[in-house]
Structure 1
Amino acid sequence: MEAGIVGLPNVGKSTLFNALTCSQAAQSENYPFCTIEPNEGIVSVPDPRLDRITKYIVPKKTIPAILKLVDIAGIVKGASEGEGLGNKFLSHIRQVDAIIQVVRCFEDPDVIHVSGQVDPIADIEIIETELMLADIQTLENAIGKAEKTARSGDKDAKVRVEVIKKCNEHLAADQPLRTLELNEIERAAVSSYGLMTAKSILYVANVGENDLEGKDPLVTKVREYADKAGASVVCVCAKLESELAELDEADRAEMLSEVGLDEPALHSIARGAYKTLGLESYFTAGEKEVRAWTIPAGATAPQAAGVIHTDFERGFIRCEVYTLEDLEEHKTEKDIRQAGKLRVEGKSYVMKDGDICHFLFNV
């Protein structure tokens, strides 16, 4: 699964993407559409639980979960009608699983805002409107074919027609589709359309170097907007994070200490994106490696095993599970087993975030 980073031109999203992926790409000039094709990058998801596990199970290597990010070029008002580079960029958003919208929450006369003034809520609404208009267009294009197929007696097409109408009514009320309740069958009926406002969203408030805690009134407005939308907000100073990304570990730690941060704010973005995508981690731990594996929330034990290898899911027998708290209390897997804390779970077991597992399988 992957998340797409979107925003108006010059809000700092490409700076943020480069910092997240430790990109050494040359700095672009300060003008819209400097990212012509979407850039892709893989980032690790920092997880302090890995450090806690390796205190007791010392591996040759530690492997965190990873997340794929796509930097999508700046969207402008009228994109759904072809303004700027228009639908070309909107099509890139259709392909991602969640959206990270960067909004500018700092003043800087040297960085031109495409709208002439810094107003993060207006920025959010411009992009939301463009995505809703594009979704309306997609659904209007789809309903004719769906109705024709439905008239032939196709039951799936009949469901699709009703869901399209339901979605269009919601969009006509100026509401994004992520706020529309659909059951599993209804979601499946329109899943192939890549409806953009149905995707989960994370807002990133790009703040100035003098407001790392995000106390500026502009950030407060973003938080209030996100609360109403059921979304999360992460504050980050893209300029500072870009500088931190270029430092070695020792210098980075010194700089973080100087500005009063415990860790780069980018870590919060990676974790926030992970959560926005509906993902969680389980761990495998041994002398060879301690590793975080990515699964969708609600995955069963066989599905989780299949992330390691399809044979593990196909030949799943059982899963041996313990918790990080068990490890910290008993120190070794042997002692966890002797204490009766090593659980044996079957095919119906729903994984819990942070489970430490061994899978038994036979093919």
Structure 2
Amino acid sequence: MKASYYMKTRGNYKSVGIVGLPNIGKSTLFNALTSSQAAMAANFPFCTIDPNVGKVFVPDERLDLISNMLKTKSKVGTQLEFTDIAGLVKGASEGEGLGNKFLGNIRQVSLIVHLIRCFEDKDITHVTADLNPIGDIETIETELILSDLQSLEKVLQDHSKKKSTPEVQLRHDLSRRVAKALEAGIPSRDVEIDEKEWPVFQSLHLLTSKPTIYVCNVSESDALTGNKFTDQVKEYSKKKQIEIDPVVISAKIESELANMESDEMKKEFLDAYGLTNNGLSKVINGARKLLGLQSFYTASEVECRAWTIPVGTKARQAAAVIHSDFEKSFIKADTIAYQDFIDANGDEKTCRDKGKQRSEGPNYIVQDGDVILFKVSC
């Protein structure tokens, strides 16, 4: 991955699309993520046609600890938006399997969770005769590349009809360079983009520009250790320099966990498979990392709340996340680092006495986990 790419894209969005071939467990994973049965799951291709969209609470142990410590009456976490996108097939860029519609749905999301079938089951139809996770990955990525090449071809054709200006020439030259990379099988997110090119690159809305997480769907018996197929995906991911390591989950286990009411039941269920945590938290937190999102907290006995902001956000803009008026009326941000807050057992006076509470100005860059009390003018 290119640092210049991620510096520009992270923190801008919160939407995640679940992508993959048909019949690999996307809807089951979506149901587990959203703790619902919103997506129909069935054993035939193109079961999902219109994308299902759901809000997913982000697992947050820090929020839980702060809330329990202060015995708050209310606890509010942050959310990500997940979209269950119908399965793509070879030829999607040419319209196969309703491909144009599905590719359009991918264009609307900010990050791709690429679900890969890594389980063998003769009772569940697969689009190919043999299970080949790497071949499945390459099928999807090839269709995304082909779709992007079609988009760039239109851009280059339009260039010939326009009067030449520095802006038009920049768009043309960048499109040619990205198209050349795509023709070599290199996704656009791996193309070096300089500062002046960046707005133009964003305006191209390329599918291969989106950061990606590989998620391996395995049988229940392989949820703890993975298998030879997940090993292949990990090696492929390493070769492609995918930033987030592939996540191994059993969508079936996750779906059953999502429908259990008590933490005790969930723990017993996980223990039966030798698992200590569910896999969904890895997917969700991996997505947050790639999107460049972090949390700060407001905490009192009345309410403990996590707020999502992009990494690098300044205090004045962070205040606006709570209420738009706070940006204009900002005075200061009384800030305590998360660990200092925990060490003081959530007591602000103790933090002040120990010099752990700081009065920060509008240009302070909020750190992940900061506990903040904003002071604003009335």
TM class by shorter chain equals over 0.9
Task: Assess if the C-alpha contact under 8 Å between 2:56 and 2:81 holds in 1.
Answer: yes
1:305 to 312, 319, 322: 319
Distance in 2 separating the partners of 1:162 and 1:301: 39
> 2:296 aligns to what?
282
> 2:243 aligns to what?
231
Any idea what the Cα deviations from partners look like across 1:326-356, whole Å, max 9, x if unmatched? 1122220111012111112222222211111
Task: Assess if the C-alpha contact under 8 Å between 1:56 and 1:327 holds in 2.
Answer: no
Task: Assess if the C-alpha contact under 8 Å between 2:134 and 2:233 holds in 1.
Answer: yes
2:224 to 210, 213, 229: 213
TM-score by length of 2: 0.91
Aligned residue identity for 1:115: T
Task: Assess if the C-alpha contact under 8 Å between 1:147 and 1:157 holds in 2.
Answer: no
* Secondary structure, aligned partner of 2:70: coil
Aligned residue identity for 2:354: A
2:145 paired with 1:132 = yes
Aligned residue identity for 2:167: D
> 1:50 aligns to what?
63
Task: Assess if the C-alpha contact under 8 Å between 2:16 and 2:112 holds in 1.
Answer: yes
* Secondary structure, aligned partner of 1:69: strand
Superposition deviation, residue 148 in structure 1: 4.3
> 2:287 aligns to what?
273
Aligned pairs for 1:130-209 (under 5 A) are 130-146=143-159, 148-149=161-162, 151=164, 153=165, 155-209=166-220
2:360 paired with 1:345 = yes
> 2:329 aligns to what?
315
Superposition deviation, residue 128 in structure 1: 0.5
> 1:357 aligns to what?
372
Superposition deviation, residue 22 in structure 1: 1.4
Task: Assess if the C-alpha contact under 8 Å between 1:150 and 1:158 holds in 2.
Answer: no
Task: Assess if the C-alpha contact under 8 Å between 1:147 and 1:161 holds in 2.
Answer: no
TM-score by length of 1: 0.94
* Secondary structure, aligned partner of 2:103: helix
* Secondary structure, aligned partner of 1:84: helix
* Secondary structure, aligned partner of 1:360: strand
Any idea what the Cα deviations from partners look like across 1:224-261, whole Å, max 9, x if unmatched? 12223323211110111111112211322221222222
- CA spacing shift, 1:88–1:60, aligned 2, 3 Å: same
Q: Percent identity?
A: 46
Task: Assess if the C-alpha contact under 8 Å between 2:335 and 2:360 holds in 1.
Answer: yes
Please say which of residues 201-210 and 135-144 is displaced more in the overlay. Answer: 135-144
- CA spacing shift, 1:223–1:150, aligned 2, 3 Å: farther
Aligned residue identity for 1:347: P
Task: Assess if the C-alpha contact under 8 Å between 1:203 and 1:231 holds in 2.
Answer: no
Task: Assess if the C-alpha contact under 8 Å between 1:2 and 1:70 holds in 2.
Answer: yes
> 1:260 aligns to what?
274
Structure 1 stretches of at least 4 aligned residues deviating more than 6 Å after TM superposition: none
- CA spacing shift, 1:8–1:328, aligned 2, 3 Å: same
Superposition deviation, residue 70 in structure 1: 0.3
Any idea what the Cα deviations from partners look like across 1:273-326, whole Å, max 9, x if unmatched? 211222111111112211111111222222222221221223323222111211
Task: Assess if the C-alpha contact under 8 Å between 1:3 and 1:277 holds in 2.
Answer: no
Show structure 1 runs of 5+ residues with no match. Answer: none
1:330 to 341, 344, 351: 344
Distance in 2 separating the partners of 1:16 and 1:354: 29
Show structure 2 runs of 5+ residues with no match. Answer: 1-13
Task: Assess if the C-alpha contact under 8 Å between 2:27 and 2:41 holds in 1.
Answer: no
Superposition deviation, residue 149 in structure 1: 4.2
Superposition deviation, residue 32 in structure 1: 0.7
* Secondary structure, aligned partner of 2:97: coil
- CA spacing shift, 1:150–1:214, aligned 2, 3 Å: farther
> Aligned pair count?
361
- CA spacing shift, 1:214–1:175, aligned 2, 3 Å: farther
- CA spacing shift, 1:264–1:215, aligned 2, 3 Å: closer
CA RMSD, 1 decimal: 1.7
- CA spacing shift, 1:321–1:73, aligned 2, 3 Å: same
